[in-house]
Structure formats: C-alpha cells, structure tokens
Chains A and B, each alone.
Chain A
Amino acid sequence: MRAPTKKLILATVSLAVGGVLLHSCRGGGTGATNLAAGDAATRVYVPPGQHDELYSFMSGGFSGQMTVYGIPSGRLLKTIPVFSQSPENGYGYNEETKAMLQTTHGFIPWDDSHHPELSQTDGAINGNWLFINAVNTPRIARLDLTRFETDEIIEIPNSAGGHASPFTTPDGKYVVSATRFSVPLGAERDVPIDTYAENFKGTLTFVKADEPGKMAIAFQILMPGFNYDLGRAGKGPSEGWFFFTSYNSELAYTKLEVNASQNDKDFIAAVDIRRAEACVAEGKAQTISAPHYHNVVDETTRIASSTVEPSVKLLDPAACPGSVYYLPTPKSPHGVDVDPTGEYIVAGGKLATVIPVHSTTKLLAAIAGKKFDGEVSGIPIIRYEDVIAGEVQKPGLGPLHTEFDGKGFAYTSMFISSEVVKWKLGTWEVVDRIPVYYSVGHLMIPGGSTKSPYGKYLVSLNKITKDRYLPTGPEMAQSAQLIDISGDKMRLLLDFPTMGEPHYAQALPAEMLKDKQVKFLNLAENANPWVARSATEGGISRQGKAVHVKMIAVRSHFAPDNLEGVFLGDTVYFHVTNIEQDWDILHGFAVMGAENSELIMVPGETRTLKWIPKAIGVYPFYCTDFCSALHQEMSGYIRVSAPGTSVALSAKTSRKARTQLARSAGIPGGGVGAGPSAARAMPAAVPATGGPRQ
C-alpha cells in the first residue's frame, strides 16, 4: 500500500478514535472555576475575637424560622424560632410559648417564612423590630432585636398565601400583607372552583405595627381575584402610596403556569394609603366578621396569650374612588421595588424581556389628568405609556427583584440566566453583570430598599446549590453569595450555605444592635406565676390530676430534685426557673418519655414542660445545656406510682444537691429541706396567680 493511502486511512481511523477522546473531554461545569479574585479572602475574614460588620436577617424559608448571619463572614449566628416549633429551645413546645402558634385553624406548628422587614423611621432602618410573614397560614410576626425573640404574631384573615408581606411604610405605621391566592370571601364560601371569576377575591391588608404588642388590622382592601405577589411602600414623592405586583390577571384557577402566563401585561396596584384611610374614617369600609388571632408575649411573665379579634374593616375600592389604580406591567411581575429617591418603581416581570420602570411623577400626572384606559372592578387602569419612565433593554432572563446602592444604580436578580445585573437609573443602561450560583431569587443590599442604602455589599440568595459545597445527599443547604459592590465592577467575595431557603434578607450595621443586647433577664422582675427565685421557693403541689413542680436550676443542680407522690394518670408540669444572673449561663431540662421537647431557660427565666408518664417507675431528668464543670451531675428523679398507693406527695433535695447548695451558700446543711424528714410539700391549693395556659 502506498504511503499517502496509508496516511489517509490512518487519518480516518484516528478520526474515529479521536471522537472517543474528544467526547470524554467535552461537557463539565462552569461554576467550579469561578474563583473570587484578589483580596476577597481578607475582605471576608473576621479575625478571632472580632465581630462582623453587619447583622443579616435571612428568612428561614420552609423552616418557618429566622436565621441571623454575620456579614461579611457569612457565619450563622442564630436561628430565631418564629412560626415553627423549635425543639432546640422548646419554643412552641413549652407551656409559655404554645399560644404563639395558635390560629383560627388551631395550633399550627409550622409555616413558610419569606420576607424579613426591619422597622423604619422616616424611610431608614431604626433597629427596633423585625417583622416576618408566614405564607401558608397568613400571619405576621414581630421580633424583638434586643433579645432576638418572637414577641407577637397576628393572623391575617380573608387571605390565603400571605406572600406580599410584611413590607413596611417608611414611617413605620403599617406593615402589609396581600393574598397570593385569591379565595372566596363572600358570605358563601363553599363555591365551585370554576366560579373563580365571580367569587374569588384578593385582599390588601394594612396592619398597624408601630406599637409593640398592639399590632392590629387597620383595614383591608377588597381586590379582583388576581395573585398579589410582592409589595413596597413609596417614599419621598411617592410616600403615602403602596405598590403591589399582581399576576394571573387571566383569573386562571387551574394549570396557572400556562394559564396565568398568557397576558402580555399584568398589573401593579398602586394604593393611595391616605385616601383609603380617609374612606375608612368616613365609614365607607364594611365591618365584617373575620375572627383572627393576636398572640403576644407578656413582658414580665414571658407567657404568651391569645386574643381573638372578631372583625375587620373591608374597603371596596369601588366605594372609595381614588384609593387604588392599576399600572399595566409586563409580564407576570414578581418584585416591585422603589428606588431611594422614591421616584422610580421598578418591576421584575419574571417572564418579561425588559425591566419596566414606572415614574411617580408620571403616575401622579396621569391621575390628575384622569388618563385612564378602562377599569377592573372599579379600579382605573392607567395607560402604560403614561406611567412608564423607561425600560431596561436586554437585561437577562427572568428578572425578579431589584435593590439599590444609593449611588444611582439598581441591581436586579435574574433567575433564569442566573446572574445579577447592575444598571443605571435614568439611562436604563446595563453597566455590569455577574453570574451567581445558581438561580438567584431575592438579592439584598443592606438598606437597599430604604431611603439610605448602606451599600458596599450585595447578597445573592440562590435557589439552587448543586456543587457549591461538599455534597450532602439529595437535600442540601441553600446557597448565598456575597458580592462586593463598592467599585464599578461587581466582585464575588464569598459563598456560604444558608438554611431552609431564605427568600429575602435584610441587614443593618452591627453597631445598631450589639450594644443593646440583653445578657440575661432580671430574676427579680420575673412575674411568671410559677417562678421559684430561690431553692426555698421550690416545691410540689397537686390540683386534681395535675401536679405542679416548682424547681430552680442553678449550677449544677435542680432543687427540688427528688419528686414522689405522682401517680399514673397524672399530668406533671415542671416549672423550671433558671436563677442564674450571669451572662450566657443557660440551663436545659429534659425528662425521659416527654412527648414534646426539652426546655431551655435563659438566666432569670421560667419555662414549663408538660409531662404525662405512661408507666410506673422512676424517671430521670437532667440539664441539657452544658452549663458547668458538674453539668453531668445536674439531674434528678421523679417517681411514678400506681394509683391508689399511699406514696406521699413530696419534693426533696438530694444529699448531693444539698451539699452543693451548702457549699455555694456557705451554710452547712442549708438549702431546701435539711433532710428527708423535712421534705417540703407545697399546699395542695393552687397559687392564686393561676397557671400557664394548658
């Protein structure tokens, strides 16, 4: 065979073989190679003993809780229980906090929390409280920022899917909640689903929120049966207005992903709050029966109690002309965000090919000139051309949310194209873009929704994690990315895992909170009816089948710690008071066979565990929070006897605990009950202060 022929054949064969090799090389990821550049490591490094620059509050998503992270380190600092029971500290399990999760649907142990909202004064974060919404069974919670605890929860009636919530007005007067799922709201609620168009309605709820413990539904606005998605208050020139996005102007009630995606434009509802308030004041709102729970923690007893509010004021915009307008907005808009000046209203049309920006000036002019293009249920529609300020062209795919840096730039999250896009307000030109890993939902710039953004950082809250961290089976943490926005170009600084899918987050400078943190509760001010401030106040009492144990917890014992006279069929309430008055000395309490959780008592606090023994025997209880060198010794026993036996009700302190007590008090043989013969038994009568809710 001649040489050229051989070469030709060789080439052909190598083509076949080369194909095999080529294929083994092709494909593969893009993410792993994207390394943070330059001084990123030093920018996010918080040396041991030093603190983060900002607190970031990230919703716990489907955990129903709130998570707190340090920025820029991305370290998880705390999980605050809000809408879900927390076995970690007994929230929603102990008798004091069960009432927090009461609703008209009964005790709800879980929810889906989406949007943290820091309280504001004059459009700036004030560091007083944090609000967060529950989507599934619509509620809004208020969290205290000196204790990082949930103090108040109000249920939102006439609503389903409390998604557009709990965004605040710049004066802090209201937080809002709007229905993501319209539902029948008339007198007749048992209607065929295919009567959606005539029977299903949405509501926009304004909750008065400027006084702790006194949240109340000011009024609700009855709306066409669209899906209300997100909201933001106006500020500056738009102060007094509230903007809500809506999708499903198609009024679809089945296969929404297609049927609610047909119209080229849906609407932003613009609510004139002052006009609505005036109509309510003039009696134009209907007072309708709408029972809803309001759960509040008492400051001194730290016991939550529920009040059922019977009704709400429902305002029909048709009866209050000028209270609501519709702004046509492409297409199935999700986020609506108002820039720091208050002039621009940016919509994230999740299926739109542009980012539309409405103008407050044009909106007010169009209203003044009555430039309307039809109406829906008495709500005038303003022509798109008469309200649009500009459109950002070719921003990317799937725009969702926008925040601002206070320097004239806006940053929009792009879910589908998985990137953050920076663009300039006024010129609407895209100036920078950065890929994020993967599929960003909300993004957050500290203060980025307020009049005065802190700027500097942007956190991308991503929905998909995949290969960003060591894999942990099919279920993984969510993924957040910290991006430096201090320069012209965005720079990726840090990846960090987040829990339970934070939807939105807000952040504030650490200085605003860190010096006002409560270190422990003042025992002298503890007004829990079952408090035991010292070992001598401990004891046991019976009220029918209920046995109440008052107990102290202190390093390293419980007193009393030997309990007898409990019979099968009794219900035992352990009221345990942590009498420590020292920073970060928490005690826990767990008893074998308890069907709820442990208790965690912060210093100075009383918590109550309900326990129903199932069999006779002697059961240990112990401290669960490693408190001291003799933490392992911090335990006790409770004896459960057969009914009818003659075991006397007694609460003693063991020799071990007595020795410790004596040592700590310097009194030989002191403490509770000098010996078995001196066992204290509390009178059978229940103290007049009453018991916790059962």
Chain B
Amino acid sequence: MSSRLPFRSRVLTALGAALLVGVFIFPIWRIDLEAPQYPEGIGMLIHVNAVGGVKPNDLNNINGLNHYIGMKAIEPESIPELTYMPWIVGTLLVSGLLVALWGRRAALVGWVSLFMVVGVLGIVDFWLWGYDYGHNLDPQAIIKIPDMVYQPPLIGSKQLLNFTAHSWPDIGGMMAAASFLLGAIALYLAYRKPAEPRPARAAAAERALRPQVAG
C-alpha cells in the first residue's frame, strides 16, 4: 500500500514536528557584532515572535550605534512578521503531527513542501529586512562613507566599518533545520522502499546471513 507512510517515516515526521517546539523556546537567529571597544560582545537574538539583545539593552545600544550611520532603529513592534511567524510555525508543528498520525504519504509530501516554502520565504524575508536596514539610510546621517552599505550578512561574517558582524542560526533555527531534515528523511524513506512488514524483513536478513555462518 504505497500511499501509506511506513511506520518509521511517521515516527520521524512526528519527531520533526515536535522539534519545532524548540523554535518557540530558543532564538532562531543570532547576529553578533565584534569591535575592539566591545570586549564583552554585543549582539541580537531573533526569536519567532521577538527581536532582542543578547544581553539586556543590547538592542538599544545597537540602535544607538546605528544612528551614527543613519540606519533606522530596529523596533520589534514595527516588524509584522513577529506577529504571524508563531502562527505559521505553530501550523507547521500541528500539521506535522497530524500527518504523522494520519500516515498518508501525500500528506507528508505536502507538509515537507510547505515547510520548504516557508523556509525559503523566511530566508528571503530576512534578507530583505537586512537589505532595507543596510541600504535605506538617513540622508542626514552623521557618518556618511561613499558607497558604503551596512547590510548584515545573511549567514557568515562581514566587516561593517569598525564592527565585524557574524550572522548564524541559533538553537531554534538549528532545531527548525533539523525538523525539516527529519521530514525530508521521512519522505525519502517513504519513497525509497515500499512499506514492508518488519517480520518479513527480519526473516530476509536472516536468510542473507545464514549461508555466511554456514560457510
């Protein structure tokens, strides 16, 4: 019955969906700014529903630094994504569990595809925010350097004036990636080998081993 998910795919899907709980607990992304006069570090954490500092007040202090180059202040309340992202992730989480429960392969295809679309859109959206902050600078900025833009790296490290910006997924983001990977593995397993009753496979394995033992 090829349209049914094998048991292990259902388990992996359920596990993957469950991992998304981490997105609500841990930050998804982290941007660290490194400069000589910040030996203690300064940085930002992006949660599913909030943007905040690595330390209390870091976000305020980053906004304070950014005003010199005319970057607009990062104000979490003005980022609409932070209100609907939890619903999207929540939907992914619940639907993933339902897919695992229902056990239809087509449903898993749908879930993994949805996850992929959400992931790609999320990354594009993140890049667009970075582009906007980095390029749309106040023409009255205090420090203006010809041709200089301040877009943080999407992922990786980049020198922005006296700061080196490091942008990497945080625990929540890693767990989301793991969730997606588990879904993808579940799908792979569902397609690679049609569901086979476990006892039959065990018997086949025994048959395969026996001649060697005898030999």
Contacts and interface: CB of A to CB of B under 8 A. Distances in A.
A128 B175 CA distance: 71
A15 B32 contact: no
A40 B22 CA distance: 51
B19 to A, nearest CB: 7
Contact of B36 (A22, A23, A437): A437
A217 B22 CA distance: 73
B175 A16 contact: yes
Contacts of A28: 41
Interface in B41-57: 41, 43, 54
Contacts of A467: 39-40
A3 interface: no
A581 B185 CA distance: 94
B32 A12 contact: no
B55 to A, nearest CB: 10
A406 B196 CA distance: 87
Given A353-B145, A416-B162, A417-B162, A12 B34 contact: no
B32 A27 contact: yes
A670 to B, nearest CB: 67
Contact of A19 (B8, B40, B145, B170): B170
B182 A29 contact: no
A438 B36 contact: yes
B154 interface: no
Nearest to A418: B36
B135 interface: no
B182 A23 contact: no
Interface string B28-41: 00101011111111
Interface in B130-186: 140, 142-146, 161-162, 166, 168-171, 173-175, 177-178, 181-182, 185
User: What does DSSP make chain B's interface, helix, strand, loop or mixed?
Assistant: mixed
A31 B162 contact: no
Contacts, number: 97
User: What does DSSP make chain A's interface, helix, strand, loop or mixed?
Assistant: loop
A31 B38 CA distance: 9
Given A26-B168, A397-B162, A12 B178 contact: yes
Given A418-B36, A419-B36, A27 B43 contact: yes
A677 interface: no
Contacts of A365: none
B12 interface: yes
Contacts of B34: 27, 30
A257 B138 CA distance: 14
Given A9-B182, A29-B39, A31-B39, A416 B161 contact: yes
Given A19-B170, A351-B142, A30 B36 contact: yes
Contacts of A524: none
Contacts of B140: 258, 261-262
B171 A20 contact: yes
B205 to A, nearest CB: 10
Given A438-B37, A466-B39, 4 more contacts: A12-B182, A26-B168, A32-B39, A351-B143
